[in-house]
């Protein structure tokens, strides 16, 4: 359902933000809408801008413990009308669809970027559903010092062209390789990741197990399933705000016959 929201009312909120934060007036975001109507639900909103131009935004009101989130990224491959982002390859099996790297014999990342459309933000909240194809081995083998390369078998989420790390979602065929594993072969994360990651191992066939959902962790990676917030990742930059675009990359440091981590669902919000 589309609700019409008139900018002539919201502009008051917008100008208020401008004067108190002392930067130029920004695009209307979901926290503006929520400030005006505290009880709004998660929904699509149609913003009527100057001169009658309109645009749609989706607001999440119950994400990472609060409301007023503007959605930047959304992929739901269970919806047959949706297709993979440009530069990703479709995996399809038994009615499940997901998006991974184009076929290659080498390490690579498939990338998609989500512009903030001028919305200034200080928090990011999101979740990603991935699957294991063949034998991804987490952080083993990749060039771990280089955030620009395939440092992980999994999903890398960064912001801005200098790739400020946001979250890493690690996939491993062995439950022993996750950084949180207790099996004695745990791989440490590179320093730039800090504590901002989820890791899960999956056995068996493609689509047999959903990664990073906080369920069905096995044996020594059980602790990974109790990561705070999982499946939602949350970054709060405090008083630091940015309009950086957000980038999601599916990476592997070996060829796609050997390993891939196709994603079937993601949603990423800012405020
Ligand atoms: C929002 O919802 C709460 C609880 O349902 C209600 O008490 C409150 O009056 C509502 N506020 C507005 C502005 O509608
Ligand atoms: C994804 O799409 C399917 C099919 O349209 C729908 O049933 C499901 O609710 C969607 N999932 C989410 C989390 O929105
Ligand atoms: C990643 O690339 C950016 C520019 O694209 C560069 O400024 C930065 O130094 C690179 N980081 C590393 C670790 O190489
Ligand atoms: C952030 O802003 C609040 C309110 O303006 C202020 O009280 C606080 O000291 C600031 N924190 C930092 C780390 O600058």
DSSP states of 84-130 as a string? PPTT-EEEEETTEEEEEPPP-SEEEEEEEEE--TT--BSEEEEEEEE
pLDDT value at residue 185: 77
Same domain (yes/no): 148, 17: no
Same domain (yes/no): 138, 203: yes
Same domain (yes/no): 172, 220: yes
Same domain (yes/no): 139, 260: yes
Q: What is the 236 CA–ligand 4 centroid distance (Å)? A: 13
Residue 120 located in a structural domain: yes
Residue 185 located in a structural domain: yes
Phi first, then psi: give them for residue 104, nearest 5 degrees. -155, 155
Same domain (yes/no): 8, 98: no
pLDDT value at residue 83: 97
Please state whether the peptide bond connecting residue 231 to the residue before it is cis, i.e. omega within 30 degrees of 0: yes
pLDDT in tens, the chain (271 residues): 334 444 434 444 444 443 343 344 456 788 887 877 788 788 888 776 555 566 788 999 889 999 999 999 999 999 999 999 999 999 998 888 999 999 999 999 999 999 998 889 999 999 999 999 999 999 988 778 899 999 999 999 999 999 999 999 999 988 888 888 887 778 889 999 999 999 998 866 677 788 999 888 877 888 888 899 999 999 999 999 999 999 999 999 999 999 999 999 999 999 9
Residue 65 located in a structural domain: no
Q: Is the CB of 41 under 6 A from ligand 1?
A: no
Q: What is the SS3 assignment for 21? A: helix
pLDDT value at residue 45: 80
Residue 141 located in a structural domain: yes
* CA angle (141, 147, 150) in 5-degree steps: 40
For 18, the domain range is 2-60
Same domain (yes/no): 82, 200: yes
Q: Which residues line ligand 3 (CB under 6 A)?
A: 146-148, 161-163
Same domain (yes/no): 54, 111: no
- Nearest ligand to the C-alpha atom of residue 213: 2
Query: How far apart are the C-alpha atoms of 250 and 101, rounded to whole Å?
Result: 7
Residue nearest atom 6 of ligand 1, based on CA coordinates: 39
Q: Is 122 exposed, middle or buried (0-12, 13-18, 19+ CB in 10 A)?
A: middle
Q: What is the 155 CA–ligand 4 centroid distance (Å)? A: 32
Residue nearest atom 8 of ligand 1, based on CA coordinates: 39
Q: What is the 63 CA–ligand 1 centroid distance (Å)? A: 19
* CA angle (268, 10, 67) in 5-degree steps: 35
Residue nearest atom 5 of ligand 1, based on CA coordinates: 39
Number of structural domains (the chain) is 2
pLDDT value at residue 46: 75
pLDDT value at residue 2: 38
pLDDT value at residue 7: 44
What tokens appear for 39 in the block? 């009880």
CATH code for position 212: 2.60.120
Same domain (yes/no): 113, 193: yes
Bridge-based pairing of strands 197-201 and 164-172 is parallel
Q: What is the SS3 assignment for 241? A: coil
Query: How far apart are the C-alpha atoms of 146 and 77, rounded to whole Å?
Result: 30
Q: Is the CB of 195 under 6 A from ligand 1?
A: no
Same domain (yes/no): 51, 143: no
| Residue whose entry in the numeric block shows the structure tokens 């989420």 | 157
Is pTM beyond 0.85? Reply is yes
Residue 110 located in a structural domain: yes
Same domain (yes/no): 177, 51: no
Residue 127 Cα to chain centre, angstroms: 5
Q: What is the 106 CA–ligand 1 centroid distance (Å)? A: 56
Residue 126 located in a structural domain: yes
Same domain (yes/no): 48, 98: no
Same domain (yes/no): 10, 111: no
**E strand or H helix at 20:** helix 7-21
Q: Is 156 exposed, middle or buried (0-12, 13-18, 19+ CB in 10 A)?
A: buried
């Amino acid at each position: 359902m589309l609700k019409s929201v008139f900018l002539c009312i919201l502009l008051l909120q917008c100008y208020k933000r401008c004067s108190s934060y002392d930067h130029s007036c920004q695009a209307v975001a979901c926290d503006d809408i929520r400030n005006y109507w505290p009880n709004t639900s998660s929904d699509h909103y149609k913003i009527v801008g100057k001169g009658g131009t309109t645009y749609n935004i989706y607001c999440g009101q119950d994400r990472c413990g609060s409301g007023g989130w503007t959605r930047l990224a959304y992929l739901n491959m269970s919806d047959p009308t949706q297709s993979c982002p440009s530069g990703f390859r479709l995996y399809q099996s038994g009615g499940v669809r997901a998006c991974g790297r184009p076929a290659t014999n080498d390490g690579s990342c498939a990338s998609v970027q989500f512009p903030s459309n001028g919305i200034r933000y200080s928090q990011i909240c999101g979740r990603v559903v991935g699957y294991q194809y063949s034998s991804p081995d987490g952080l083993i083998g990749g060039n771990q010092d280089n955030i620009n390369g395939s440092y992980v078998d999994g999903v890398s989420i960064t912001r801005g062209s200098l790739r400020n790390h946001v979250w890493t979602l690690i996939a491993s065929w062995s439950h022993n390789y996750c950084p949180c594993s207790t099996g004695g072969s745990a791989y440490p994360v590179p320093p730039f990741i800090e504590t901002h990651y989820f890791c899960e191992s999956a056995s068996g066939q493609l689509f047999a197990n959903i990664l990073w959902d906080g369920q069905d962790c096995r044996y020594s990676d059980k602790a990974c399933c109790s990561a705070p917030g999982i499946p939602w990742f949350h970054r709060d930059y405090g008083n630091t705000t940015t309009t950086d675009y957000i980038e999601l990359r599916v990476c592997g440091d070996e060829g796609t016959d050997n390993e891939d981590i196709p994603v079937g669902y993601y949603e990423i919000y800012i405020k």
